[in-house]
Structure 1
């Protein structure tokens, strides 16, 4: 039985992904810093992440869903502490999990990594400069790692959702949420289970010739 490790797994996209993968017989270990997760681990704590990998014996699938919105302010009003926290979780948390789990995948000759980026990482969202910049970094990280691992049997891809109905968006300012929802041609927000279907495909044997790619799930918002 394959094992998946899913960060941000206590709620939202992470929880929906765990439910979907369990339905096809994958042993899922959900990771979060609080809440109803199998493992309570802060992904920004490098030592704790390494200990997690050692404790559970690695994984075949890694889904990096943990993330925070960060400052909801114009760029000039943000402070660097808000930027640091956003980058620590969204970027360095993803890096740390990959460093801990990818080597085992390489040694076994098979693995799937899915990193959650965002349409904000492509387009940039006003009032969310730190979040947008962090998700752009996740996209570039995914492309670099995909190339590095291209001949190992380990595929690394990213998903770039538009607005999805998740608890994380409860922290987004109403006017910011209204603006980014207005950009979606389908005129609705996405559902977590819709994103989980895409994750299920990307983590399966059905995908074998795609790595370092970014898959939009945006209701038509994506323009490139």
Structure 2
């Protein structure tokens, strides 16, 4: 299926690894111009080189701390000049990595989770909106998490931040409907990402095998999927790419679960 990305201008925040990189690969293969934004200059530049090989006609890696408003504004100012003031798709995949129960977390950890999980996305949306409004068509896709619907006591700050992402996205879909800018959410379940494999190592499981990782999630959290394995990043990239595409012309304000099957309440 042609998603209508040929020559489109796209940004993937957090696109140098994991699910963000998987999404950026889909955009590149569809012929989009892709800017990857992340903290590590080496990582974003390496990702941009790969995306160029995959077919992106103008792949670029831009290093920035998305919790810093000035750095975010600088990224989008540079893209305004590079892409003549247009942006068709903004995809935000970043999230906090804060663990602990309500009783364990410090105020600084709460601030880190909310700043990294929510304000980073708000910064990017605010900086991108003038470019999105200047495009023939525009989409925003924000990554939330299935844990907003299925609680884990040690992920309370992470879950709270992701729930705010879902709420802010729904509000944006209402705000931007008059501009025909579509805003949707992807909520991943358990995926084989650097964060998940780092957690597995921390509990004594050194593997990237999706079946063993799902077993570990079941053992430690009691939250298995209906499928017996964790997801792979390349299985969520196409979902996010469709939501960000011109082909998606009427879905907005939706929260799409990609979780291997879960019984949400």
Q: TM-score, normalised by structure 1?
A: 0.93
- What is residue 61 of structure 1 aligned with on the other side? 89
Q: Does 1:121 align with 2:148?
A: yes
Match of 2:254 among 203, 213, 220: 213
Q: Does 1:52 align with 2:75?
A: yes
8 Å CA contact retained: 1:165, 1:189? yes
Aligned-pair CA distance for 1:109: 4.6
In 2, the alpha carbon distance for the partners of 1:126 and 1:106 equals 40
Match of 1:36 among 36, 39, 43: 43
Report which of the two structures shows the higher radius of gyration computed on alpha carbons. Answer: 2
Distance 1:109 1:148, change over 3 A: farther
Match of 1:14 among 5, 20, 26: 20
> Secondary structure at 2:187's aligned position in 1?
strand
8 Å CA contact retained: 2:9, 2:88? yes
Q: TM-score, normalised by structure 2?
A: 0.79
Give a deviation string over 1:45-85, Cα, whole Å, max 9, x none. 001101111111152111101122212x2220111111111
Aligned-pair CA distance for 1:125: 2.0
Runs of 5+ consecutive residues of structure 2 not aligned to the other structure: 1-6, 45-60, 81-85, 205-215
Write out aligned runs for 1:139-154 (5 A).
139-154=166-181
8 Å CA contact retained: 1:163, 1:180? no
Runs (4 or more) in structure 1 with deviation over 3 Å come to: 170-182
8 Å CA contact retained: 2:217, 2:224? no
> Secondary structure at 2:178's aligned position in 1?
coil
8 Å CA contact retained: 2:137, 2:246? no
Give the paired residue count: 223
C-alpha RMSD of matched pairs (Å): 1.8
